[in-house]
A and B are shown apart, each in its own frame.
Chain A
Amino acid sequence: MDETRRASLAAWLGARAGSVAIRDMALMSGGAIQQNWKLDVTVGGTPQAWVLRTDAPATLSVSRSRAEEFHLLKAAHEAGATVPEPLFLCTDESVVGKPFFIMRRVAGIAAGHRVVKSETLGGGRVALVTALGRELARIHAIRPPRPDLAFLALPDRPPCTRFVAAMRAHLDRGRLPRPMLEWGLRHLERSAAPAGDIVLCHNDFRTGNYMADDTGITGILDWEFAAWGDPHEDLGWLCARCWRFGGPGEVGGVGPRAPFYAAYEAASGRKIDPAKVRWWEIAAAIRWAVVAIDQAERHVSGREPSLELALTGHIVPELELDVMRATLEQPA
């Protein structure tokens, strides 16, 4: 960000937070769709650690807008979930060139392969999965109707049915036939549950998307896919084999299911249906495969040559293997 934009940002922040001086500002790593800027400021002389989150240049964003993400963070924060506290939203593009919001910066480790190897993060494996259960229960306490989240469409059919239809629509646009994914989807269709509770689902609640230090979880990140759905969607996504990063625990590669389920049930007052979690675990492998196919297509089509996108395509076979193993183990 150039000097002019930094000055206009400082002025905009000053009008909201009192006298704000920007001490340091640097682009943080990661984020192909969004940009995160580390923002060190003083407010009335007191140092504060913030993050400025905005859209990456020249991306066709299909995820939620920054304004919507800000309102989701606010709702989660008010519900008691551990999230970076959202502070200010700016939809005026003249300030830094794109809409942005400011949130507090949280400390900790997020990288999946590091989290699953650690015996101490979050206070140890059982403590960490217990905390994850509690966090998810707090998020799932957010239920419609919510005027502040009016941008989230209410599901027009049961989440299971909606999921199968959405994945098939993706496959129909694909370059190659995907018989293993079709096999998995048909299995899911045969065993789809009717609609149950509708709650706010984070929809990317997995190891890699929360930060933790040795005392506990410090922040649930990446709210851009949140939507109304079935609570088991998030439970299945977190437990799915494809999000365990080679770690030993069935819950996000971190720890065992029993304390996670117990903590979730105690905090939410909702009984978990293990069969529904397994359903959404198969769904998770299919959803990740479909995303990987779409990402690889950006490279294959020649639109966006990229080694990272190209390699993402080679994740698909192991997801297909997860799907085949699971469907052959649990006939439906």
Chain B
Amino acid sequence: MTAWTGTEIPGGPDLLEIARQTLLDTVLPKLDGDARFKALMIANAMAIALRETRLGQDEIAQAMQALAQAAGPDTWAVCHDIRTGRHDPGTAAHQKIGAALLALAQARCRISAPKALEGDRK
């Protein structure tokens, strides 16, 4: 028995998933031209929203934390420091910041474009 939160099941992500599957399985085959292109975009948008909900922000938060530890908590200030050469090669935090930014880009891709990570180690 689980405690009741008051909301009905299935919840938002499950609905999104079955709605997307229905769109792809039964609606898409009946479409062509511009309508087909739009339906594929809708399915893509639903997939991004689903991954964002299911994966959560943990990986991104972790990379953001690594960046904050290496370069400071204010990302606008970090950008300014990168631009003005404060984190160039040979400076203390250069490698850590590079690694944190790579991890952040990977975490963002996990939600927006997981195909880009194929062949990449996590």
Contacts and interface: CB of A to CB of B under 8 A. Distances in A.
B89 interface: yes
Nearest to B109: A317
Interface in A300-332: 307-308, 310-311, 314-318, 320-321, 323-325, 327-328, 331-332
A50 B108 CA distance: 45
B82 A182 contact: yes
Contact of B44 (A168, A311, A318, A325): A311
B19 to A, nearest CB: 15
A190 interface: yes
A281 to B, nearest CB: 16
Interface in A206-241: none
Given A183-B101, A190-B88, A328-B102, A317 B79 contact: no
Interface string B80-122: 0011010111000000011001101110110111001100000
Interface string B32-65: 0010001001101100100000000000000000
B108 A320 contact: yes
B108 A307 contact: no
Contacts of A328: 98, 102
B78 interface: yes
Interface stretch (A59-67, A126-134, A172-180, A252-260): A172-180
B45 A182 contact: no
Contacts of B104: 179-180, 320
A29 B34 contact: yes
A179 to B, nearest CB: 5
A185 interface: yes
B106 A321 contact: yes
A308 B41 CA distance: 7
Contacts of B22: none
B75 interface: yes
B88 A183 contact: no
Range for the number of chain A residues in contact with chain B = 20 to 34
B48 A179 contact: no
A327 B79 contact: no
A186 interface: yes
A289 to B, nearest CB: 11
A316 B98 contact: no
Given A186-B82, A324-B101, A315 B75 contact: no
Nearest to B74: A177
B4 interface: no
Given A186-B83, A317-B108, A320-B108, A307 B75 contact: no
Nearest to A327: B98
A185 B83 contact: yes
6 contacts: A171-B79, A311-B44, A321-B116, A323-B105, A324-B102, A331-B89
Interface of B: 34, 38, 41-42, 44-45, 48, 67, 75-76, 78-79, 82-83, 85, 87-89, 97-98, 101-102, 104-106, 108-109, 111-113, 116-117
